[in-house]
């Protein structure tokens, strides 16, 4: 039986609950969700990408030039900051919001109602590249900022900070290269003090190779790109000697699902999810039969490969997954320009 969802005060559209199939009000699709879950539109945000709960709002990065704030107490999204270059990454540290644009990191003071003020740019410049130029950022349990920097290509030899995960102090100093040999990571989170991160496999090598990855961070480790995608040798580098031993993936996903945002669930609303990873699969664009376009759940360590168990689908192209203070889950969709909320 379908249940009518209890509206959340900041919904732009009425909520619908799913124990199976529900028509999507905006995309002409059928929403599939984990049994007993209610799925509703939480807010409309153009080109919605990475998210962070900070103060009294959910802040949302975009592919455009603005960051939006959605008040947790209710109300529509507001344009919190603008004049930025693809401000995809957002992270909350202390009482400030940090934003990772394509070329720099900025910090803002929080203003009630989802607004921001007093922008200051940190003294660090990121590689200003368009290809894989959407940065992802999180604040670590060590109170440092972690930022992923994609490789500027499909398959090539990265240089400098390209193809790395770096960490820096909140003031922008003490930069450390935490991992290298990464093609394009657009999602990471900590579980039990360990950082896990996704990585997208190369295109143009066929429908089923190479796999997308979930990796465990070992500080300073090399993760194989461009010599390996998963455990598969990449075209043009088959016979080349890697500069260091590869730290292989902890888990291999189906090729081209485009694993992006990653969140380990910690709340009480879905106790069966506690400790599991929720992973947004943005979906394929170069495969004969499309795959992905869903959020999957995965208990890390239970297996080495597959595609996880479907948690949510039919909500466009999922990018990021986060948890609200009440334990409900929000998922961003950059194709439909919406934030979806999953609750009970």
Predicted confidence at residue 286, as pLDDT, reads 87
SS3 content of the chain, % helix, strand, coil (to 5): 0, 45, 55
Backbone angles phi, psi at 272, to 5 degrees: -70, -15
**Quick check: bond before 210 cis, omega within 30?**
yes
**Nearest partner of 17 among 4, 30, 28, 8, judged by Cα:** 4
What does the chain come to in residues?
344
* Band of residue 30 on the pLDDT scale cut at 50, 70, 90: confident
Instruction: Select 16-343's CATH number: 2.120.10.30, 3.90.1420.10, 1.10.260.40, 1.10.10.10.
Output: 2.120.10.30
- Residue 275 CA to residue 203 CA, distance in Å, equals 31
Question: Do 73 and 56 form a contact (C-beta atoms < 8 A)?
Answer: yes
Tens of pLDDT, residues 159-190: 999 999 999 999 999 999 999 999 999 999 99
Lowest mean pLDDT among 13-22, 36-45, 180-189: 13-22
Q: What is the CA radius of gyration of the chain?
A: 19
Predicted confidence at residue 21, as pLDDT, reads 45
Q: Cα separations (Å) of 24 from 28, 56, 80?
A: 6, 28, 28
Strand order in the sheet with 16-18: 16-18, 37-44, 338-343, 329-333, 318-323
Predicted confidence at residue 282, as pLDDT, reads 98
Tens of pLDDT, residues 280-332: 999 999 899 999 999 999 999 988 999 899 999 999 999 999 999 999 999 99
Strands 57-62 and 48-54: antiparallel
Helices of type H across the chain? none
Predicted confidence at residue 15, as pLDDT, reads 42
> Does pTM surpass 0.85?
yes
- Apex 266 CA angle, 35 and 184, nearest 5: 90
């Amino acid at each position: 039986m379908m249940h009518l969802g209890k509206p959340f005060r900041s919904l732009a559209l009425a909520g619908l609950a799913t124990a199976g199939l529900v028509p999507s009000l905006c995309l002409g699709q059928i929403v599939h969700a984990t049994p007993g879950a209610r799925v509703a539109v939480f807010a409309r945000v153009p080109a919605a990408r990475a998210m962070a709960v900070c103060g009294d709002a959910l802040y949302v990065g975009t592919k455009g030039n603005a960051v939006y704030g959605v008040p947790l107490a209710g109300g529509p999204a507001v344009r919190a900051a603008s004049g930025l270059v693809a401000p995809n990454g957002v992270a909350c540290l202390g009482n400030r919001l940090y934003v990772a644009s394509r070329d720099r990191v900025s910090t803002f003071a929080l203003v009630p109602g989802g607004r921001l003020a007093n922008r200051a740019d940190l003294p660090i410049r990121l590689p200003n590249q368009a290809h894989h130029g959407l940065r992802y950022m999180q604040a670590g349990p060590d109170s440092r900022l972690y930022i992923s920097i994609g490789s500027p290509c499909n398959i090539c030899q990265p240089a400098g900070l390209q193809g790395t995960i770096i960490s820096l102090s909140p003031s922008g100093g003490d930069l450390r290269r935490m991992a290298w040999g990464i093609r394009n990571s657009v999602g990471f989170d900590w579980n039990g003090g360990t950082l896990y991160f996704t990585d997208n496999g190369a295109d143009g090598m066929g429908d089923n190779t190479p796999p997308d990855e979930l990796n465990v961070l070992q500080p300073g480790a090399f993760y194989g790109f461009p010599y390996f995608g998963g455990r598969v040798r990449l075209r043009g580098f088959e016979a080349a000697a890697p500069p260091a031993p590869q730290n292989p993936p902890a888990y291999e996903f189906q090729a081209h699902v485009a694993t992006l945002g990653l969140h380990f669930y910690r709340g009480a609303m879905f106790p069966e999810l506690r400790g599991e990873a929720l992973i947004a699969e943005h979906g394929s664009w170069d495969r004969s039969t499309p795959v992905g376009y869903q959020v999957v759940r995965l208990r890390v360590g239970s297996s080495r490969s597959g595609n996880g168990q479907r948690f949510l689908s039919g909500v466009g192209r999922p990018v990021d997954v986060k948890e609200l203070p009440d334990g409900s889950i929000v998922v961003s969709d950059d194709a439909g320009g919406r934030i979806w909320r999953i609750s009970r």
